[in-house]
Amino acid sequence: MEYRYLGKTGLQLSVLSFGSWVTFHKQIDDNHADELMSFAYDNGVNFFDNAEVYALGESEKMMGRILKRKSWDRTSVVLSSKVYFGSRGKENKPNQTGLSRKHIMEACRESLQRLQVDYLDLFFCHRPDPNTPIGEIVWTMHNLIQHGKILYWGTSMWSAEEIMSAHKFAKEHNLIGPVVEQPEYNVFERTKVEQEYAPLYNDPGLGTTVWSPLAAGLLTGKYLNGIPEGSRLAMPGFEWLKERWVQEEKVRKVGALNDLAKQLNVSLPTMALAWCIKNPNVTTAILGATKREQLEENFKALEVVKVLNDEEMGKIEEILK
Ligand code: NDP
């Protein structure tokens, strides 16, 4: 496993990490989650990603139970959660979502309870909240760090301008600013990581924990001939995700990428993941998985990245045009 520094911090994350969105509680049970987390941990994964809204808190509870069961040294893992969407779904009342001081503080306390840990290593603002002053957000995150409840804080799907406004406020008031952004990044979704955040990698020094590196599974090739039963895009309630990804042009490009992968003697998911982590501004690509075999396959990306040279990257670029 390769470990990369998170932006300009001293924290190192495994370049492949593991997240629980959709899968925990909705697709897999405790034993299954145990198998996947153990496989990841035994293969060097040190970062596990979660959020208050995943399965409305049940995902954190499941991860908490597994962590308890495994008794891994707490200092060997990096745990995250995210605040914004709330954990009560349709029952969310005012102040149970967003980034007010009240919700950030209460969400953090509830995430710690569900995960059964004393602190989070990373705490993300899951989306920007235009209704809360940036100073209130920065002060609250800074206070959580001072209280030892979180170690670092970051953003997810914020614009570069929003991230910089947090930095500016933090700098002016001698507070700790955000050090990491969690954006989507895969061959179809590149603008934020490759262009918008480009000036931020050096100064202030942004790390990235990128999500959906396989475009929810599209980049495994499993949707080339329809929607297989039991797959994420066949799940009731995820029709929006199917509409987003299973589009003629995208599927055609995935077919061409699949042909290229075959020529290179690698699988499509390993090529797609290797493409992702070849970008040095990606600190870690967060994997999702419902089966151990998926993780076994996807980990081979660590080898594929070593052989994906400029010529092959050029061929991928040609297909994506
Ligand atoms: P991916 O794009 O990698 O999709 C993962 C899914 O693809 C798996 O659950 C599985 O679904 C399928 N899959 C993976 N590998 C294979 C394989 N080798 N063969 C066949 N199918 C495979 O990542 P996610 O969309 O799950 O995102 C990863 C993590 O990122 C999340 O868990 C979460 O922690 C984070 N995230 C953060 C967001 C944010 O807003 N900050 C938003 C979304 C995710 P199946 O078997 O069901 O088909």
Local confidence pLDDT in tens for the 321 residues of the chain? 999 999 999 999 999 999 999 999 999 999 999 999 999 999 999 999 999 999 999 999 999 999 999 999 999 999 999 999 999 999 999 999 999 999 999 999 999 999 999 999 999 999 999 999 999 999 999 999 999 999 999 999 999 999 999 999 999 999 999 999 999 999 999 999 999 999 999 999 999 999 999 999 999 999 999 999 999 999 999 999 999 999 999 999 999 999 999 999 999 999 999 999 999 999 999 999 999 999 999 999 999 999 899 999 999 999 999
Residue 149 carries which DSSP code?
A: S
Q: From ligand 1's centre to the CA of 296, what distance in Å?
A: 14
Please report whether residue 268 resides in a domain: no
Cα–Cα distance measured from residue 208 to residue 206, given in angstroms and rounded to the nearest whole number: 7
- Contact assessment for residue 260 and residue 315, using Cβ atoms and an 8 Å cutoff: yes
The one catalytic residue in 3, 5, 41, 54 is 54
54 is known as an active-site residue: yes
Please report whether residue 63 resides in a domain: yes
Q: Whose CA is nearest to atom 7 of ligand 1?
A: 217
- Taking phi first (over 0 means left), then psi (-120 to 50 degrees means alpha), and beta for anything else, what does residue 71 get? left
Look up the CATH number of the domain holding residue 166.
Answer: 3.20.20.100
* 146 burial via Cβ count (<10 Å: 0-12, 13-18, 19+): exposed
Cα–Cα distance measured from residue 303 to residue 59, given in angstroms and rounded to the nearest whole number: 31
* 269 within ligand 1 shell (Cβ under 6 A): yes
What is the total count of domains within the chain? Answer: 1
* 23 within ligand 1 shell (Cβ under 6 A): yes
What sign for the dihedral angle of Cα 18, 21, 24, 28? negative
pLDDT at 111: 98
Cα–Cα distance measured from residue 162 to residue 178, given in angstroms and rounded to the nearest whole number: 11
* 36 within ligand 1 shell (Cβ under 6 A): no
Please report whether residue 317 resides in a domain: no
Cα–Cα distance measured from residue 52 to residue 272, given in angstroms and rounded to the nearest whole number: 29
Pairing verdict, β 120-125 and 78-83: parallel
Instruction: Find the angle CA(143)-CA(159)-CA(190) to the nearest 5 degrees.
Output: 125
Please report whether residue 320 resides in a domain: no
Please report whether residue 230 resides in a domain: no
Please report whether residue 67 resides in a domain: yes
* 288 within ligand 1 shell (Cβ under 6 A): yes
**Domain interval for residue 30:** 3-215+275-309
Q: What is the pLDDT of residues 214-267, one digit of tens each?
A: 999 999 999 999 999 999 999 999 999 999 999 999 999 999 999 999 999 999
Q: From ligand 1's centre to the CA of 143, what distance in Å?
A: 32
Q: From ligand 1's centre to the CA of 212, what distance in Å?
A: 5
Q: From ligand 1's centre to the CA of 60, what distance in Å?
A: 17
Q: Whose CA is nearest to atom 15 of ligand 1?
A: 294
Cα–Cα distance measured from residue 37 to residue 17, given in angstroms and rounded to the nearest whole number: 10
Please report whether residue 258 resides in a domain: no
Do the interacting molecules here have an ipTM over 0.95?
Answer: yes
- pTM (2 decimals)? 0.98
Please report whether residue 269 resides in a domain: no
